Amino acid sequence: MAQLFSPGADAIYRLVLLTGVACLAGVPIVAAGIVRSDYVTGVGIAPQQPVPFSHKHHSGELGIDCRYCHTTVEKEATAGIPPTHTCMTCHSQIWAGSDMLKPVRDSYSSGEPLQWRRLNKLPSYVYYNHSVHVTKGIGCSTCHGEVTAMQMTYRANAFEMGFCLDCHRNPEKYVRTSDQVWNMTWSPPADQATLGPQLVAQNHIRGGQRLMECGICHR
């Protein structure tokens, strides 16, 4: 009876089998890497906006407080996007004829708000309250990065669940004194190991298991 398979068929079969197994194992890993890449999450990428607003210039160089524009950050769940009349408080007199600011003037005249592209968007099943965090001593830069150094604003973190849980498990590592909440260059002081737990108690922060309950973020 003639031989059905060549002497090398077994080696080819093994190679095909191993390649198939490697692909099955590798595809999820590659897919996970793509999903978490900066290209997909938008981390570090400054999208084009209707006006090239610079936080570095306004907040970093001119020293304008975050709350001047984001007026609801201490009182409501959202920090708030400033209405055009906030911009025109200054720009009705400063750079009033600039072509770059024409969209601002047009928005003010028409009453139509500027269509800013949102940077930080959480899934619909996640509840987040800005006011709770900042009034308890969690600073802006913990989540948003050093915004005062950003010429064009970009997303600093992907806000995956692990990012939030890291802080919820150990709030004493991140909590600040109230005068440092708006400091974009803050880093933990030398006595953070002592100060942190004191601030957690002082601000009535529920740490540990309570802060990791599903219902805290998922409602």
pLDDT one-digit tens code per residue, 32-58: 555 556 556 779 899 999 999 999 999
Question: What is the predicted pLDDT for the residue at 2?
Answer: 55
Tokens of 157: 């973190």
Burial of 74 (0-12, 13-18, 19+ CB in 10 A): middle
Question: What is the predicted pLDDT for the residue at 121?
Answer: 87
Question: What is the predicted pLDDT for the residue at 195?
Answer: 98
Domain shared by 210 and 133, yes or no: yes
pLDDT digits (tens, 9 = 90+) for 87-136: 999 999 999 999 999 999 999 999 999 999 999 989 899 999 999 999 99
Domain shared by 75 and 90, yes or no: no
Domain shared by 103 and 203, yes or no: no
Question: What is the predicted pLDDT for the residue at 183?
Answer: 96
Domain shared by 195 and 97, yes or no: no
Q: Does residue 64 contact residue 71 with C-beta atoms inside 8 Å?
A: no
Question: What is the predicted pLDDT for the residue at 101?
Answer: 97
Going by pLDDT thresholds of 50, 70 and 90, the confidence category of residue 3 is: low
Going by pLDDT thresholds of 50, 70 and 90, the confidence category of residue 209 is: confident
Does residue 182 lie within any of the structural domains? yes
Report which of 123, 146, 135, 16 is spatially closest to residue 79, judged by C-alpha positions: 135
Going by pLDDT thresholds of 50, 70 and 90, the confidence category of residue 219 is: confident
Question: What is the predicted pLDDT for the residue at 53?
Answer: 96
Domain shared by 90 and 170, yes or no: no
Q: Which range marks the domain in which residue 111 is found?
A: 82-115
**Looking at the predicted structure, is the pLDDT value of residue 65 above 70?**
yes
Domain shared by 133 and 92, yes or no: no
**Looking at the predicted structure, is the pLDDT value of residue 166 above 60?**
yes
